[in-house]
Chains A and B, each alone.
Chain A
């Protein structure tokens, strides 16, 4: 890819309008061309500044009240009190679910679990409704050309670091990389990103909401992991969705594991064990 090609794709890329395949053809050029990288970073900063300036206004509370009372007057009456608590109840449900490792079938992570991690209480009472596959992502992954599948994962991770999605990159490193190298990678990055330290230190308590909220980043995450798993362990990695929640799934030895973010460390250990066989 030449500079001219990258610049043609730059704005659609920042708008998340490019296919995964095209994105992956861009990354190597961006890494090696300082001028295009500067342009990319400049565009990113401009967008961020404009968003900051324009996103401060919020709908006044009186507008929300007006809308809800107007809805009440149009057929269906006000919600019953217990249903009014739905948002809080849903949050509790999600937090509860996210606080645990949830698997279909047998939980295989027991022996690999970090001893300091809290017990997964929700595993005993599954609250996750049936999953449906994200066909588009699976299709994208399955149709990637061989050369793309073999893109060096470090290159992708490094790119993520430099493209203002550092938290995703950290999680990617923890989820999808080989332990020793990425521990070193994180330690190196810590020096330059002190503001990230609280995020890292609190990582055990994090869930996958960042990934869940952005399908593109889920794609990136899956892709980074896919590259490693398919080449080293012969595993197939997919994403599935249930309602607002998306799950990382990996099929291994005839079983499907559904993994939430809190399982990141256990997942890493699991992969290491698997590869050590």
Chain B
């Protein structure tokens, strides 16, 4: 984000900004909530992001995806408020390169446990799913939310997180598999019969 914009704002600007902002607020709040885990703090982050976005609204290019743009503002706001906190991101050396991602994805999909994973996810209660998402490392959690909930494209997520496209793909892949593994563990704990090594018919 560049220097503070001093361009005067008109009522038309404000109207346009609100028209863009309002439909994204639920998604911004959900993303912030999943990032910080605290509803009150999530509200503060969203408000901060909205005001920053208004300040720099003249840098938003018409015809581009406002949702992606403001999520980038939101992520910056979140990072700024957590500078003094211990980072909860996954070490980058654990993130495979794109070539490895394809191989592992293929291997994963070919493992004979897919139906078991599906049952585990379908049987999990909402609160447990939310908890499993919160257990993901922060960067995996964010990429998962931006893709699955907000529908952002890979390149848009890469812009939000300021990382390469291949990193987005690998994080997305890992987040889904980790989530399904954790829900399978949960299903097993509460008594569902979910054997991840079972063979499909």
Contact = CB atoms under 8 A, between A and B. Distances in A.
A253 B148 CA distance: 44
B11 A76 contact: yes
A42 B122 CA distance: 10
Interface stretch (B23-31, B71-79, B84-92, B187-195): B23-31
B51 interface: yes
Interface in A99-134: none
Given A42-B114, A49-B122, A55-B30, A67 B149 contact: no
Contacts, number: 121
B3 interface: no
A250 B172 CA distance: 39
Contacts of A70: 47, 50-51
B130 A59 contact: no
B126 A53 contact: yes
Label chain B's interface by main secondary structure: helix
Given A46-B180, A57-B33, A67-B50, A79 B11 contact: yes
Q: Is the interface of A mostly helix, strand, loop or mixed?
A: helix
B140 interface: no
Interface string A50-77: 1111111111101110111011001110
Interface residues of A, number: 41
Contact of B121 (A4, A16, A49): A49
A8 interface: yes
Size class of the B contact interface (CB-based, 8 Å): 35 or more
B43 interface: yes
A50 B11 contact: no
Interface in B94-139: 102, 105-106, 109-110, 114-115, 117-118, 121-122, 124, 126, 129-130, 133
A46 B15 contact: no
Contacts of A45: 118, 122
7 contacts: A4-B106, A7-B109, A39-B109, A42-B118, A62-B43, A66-B43, A79-B15
